[in-house]
Structure 1
Amino acid sequence: MVVTENDKEKILLFEQHEHAKACGDFAEAWRDEYFIEKKKRDEVVYAIVEHDNGWIELDEKPSLNKKTQMPYSFINYPLKPKLKAYTNGINRVEDIDNYAALLCSLHFSSFFEGYTNGRGEGFLKQERRRQQRLMEKLNINKKDRALQFHYELLQFCDNLSLYLCMNTPGVAKKNEVNWFRSGFSQKFAFNQYQTISAHWLDEATVALSDFPFKNEVTVSINYKAIKKNHLINLPIEYEQLPVHQRTVSIVKG
C-alpha cells in the first residue's frame, strides 16, 4: 500500500497493484526508437504491470501500525510477510514468463543489495539463485545491454508512478517527497544519461525535463480515502470505502 496524508483528517491509500497499472501505461508509451530490443517489449511490459502483484492479498486487508497509528505502507510493512509477498509475486510472473520474472527478481533483490545487518539476506540469496537459473535458461548474463535497459525502465516507471501517488498534486518542487526532489536515479541513452526530473505544473499535470514517451501520457490511479478517526477498524472500513481516481497527464517539460 502507498500511504499518504491528504490533510489533517484523511489518509489516502493506493494499492500497489493499482499503481503498477500506471507503470505499465508508461512502459507502453515509451518511444519505439528509445526501446532496446523491441522483440522483448511484451515481456517487459508484462513484468512492469505485474511486478507488484504479490501485494494484492495484503492490500485487500490493510493493517494498522500501532506505534504510528497509521496504516502500514510498502515502506514499513513487517519484513517477513513483505518478503513472502515479493516471492509469491515473482513466482506468479515466472509461471507465465521467465524473462519478466528475471526483471522482477532483479527489481526486488535490489532493495537488499549492500545490507550487512541480515535483513532480507535469505531473500537475496534465494533471488540470486533464481536469477542465475533464469539467465542460464535464457542464455543471457547480468551485463546484457538490453537486460540493463529493461531493468532501469521497470524502476523508472515504478518511481514515476510513485511520484504521482506520494506527492500532493500541484505541490511545489521544494515540498515534494524527498525521494524524487533531485530527479530519478535511472539513466538512459536517449538523453545522454542525464538525470530526468519531474515537477507539477498544476494538480493534474506533471512535466518531465526529458520526455521519453511517444505522446502525452494520461494515467488514472485508483485509491481510497479514510478518515483518521476511522482507522481503528481499518480492514472493515477499507472494504466499504468508495474508490476514487487520481488522473494525471505527463507532458514535456
Structure 2
Amino acid sequence: MKNSLKPKYDMRLLFSCLFLVSFFSVFSQEETTPKIEPVVKIDSLYREDQFYFSVTYNLFTNAPTGLKQDKFSVGLSGGFLRDMPINKKRTIAIATGIGLSYQNFYQNLTISKDASGALVHGVTDYNEFVTNRFRQYLVDVPLEFRWRNSTYESYKFWRIYGGVKFSYMFSNKSVLDNGETTYKITNNPYIAKFQYGVYLATGYNTWNIYVYYGLNPLFQAVKTNEGETVGVKTINAGLIFYIL
C-alpha cells in the first residue's frame, strides 16, 4: 500500500514545482526596466560675449566758422567684447574688449605746407580745391554698462548698452588737391593720438542704433587762417551689429 502512494506524492510534488516556476517566470516578465533619460543641464552661467561691427556717418562738432562737410564721411569699426554679468538673472553686465576703427572725413578744413615746410591749417572755400579728405586709424578699448532682457534659451532680445571708448590713433593721413599741388600729410603731429568719448547702442537682436560723441578735441594747438582755434570734436552715428 505504501509503495502505491509514493508515485502519486512524487507527481504532486513535481507539478507543484512546475507551477511555482511558471508563476515566478510570469511575474518576472511583468516587471519593467526603468527608462534612463539623459540629464539636460541648464546653462545658468551664460555670457553675451560678442563680436561687433559698426557702420557710421562721421560728423564734426564745435567747428570753426565756415567749416563744412562734403560727401558721405564713413566710419567702420569692429572688435570683440567680453561679457561679465553682475546680477543673478544675468541681465545686467559690464563688458570690455578691443577693436579697430577706420574714420574718413570729407570737409573743407585743409592741411597744406608753406614755403618752409611748416603745416598750415585753414578753412578753405570748396571752389578753391579739387578734393580734400582726412583719414584716421585707431585701436579702440570700449568699457560699457549693459542691460538686456536675454535668457539662456534665446539670442534675440532688447538691449541698451552704453559706456566710454578709449582710442589710440596709430596712423592718420590727409590729402589735399588744390588743382596745382597735391599735399599728402601722414601722421600729423597736431592731431591728438589719444581720443576718448561716450557712446550708446540700443536695439533688438542683431540690428542696433549706435551714437558716439568724442569728448576731447581732434586737433591740438591748431588755429585757422583767421586765427580761430580748431577745437573740432567728432560724432559717429549709424548702426552696430552684434554677433555671438
Alignment TM-score > 0.5, same fold: no
Larger radius of gyration: 2
Choose between structure 1 and 2: higher helix proportion.
Answer: 1
Taking CA–CA contacts closer than 8 Å with sequence separation of 6 or more, which of the two structures ends up with the larger relative contact order? 1
> Please, what TM-score do these two structures have when normalized by structure 1?
0.25
Greater strand share, 1 or 2? Answer: 2
TM-score (norm 2): 0.26
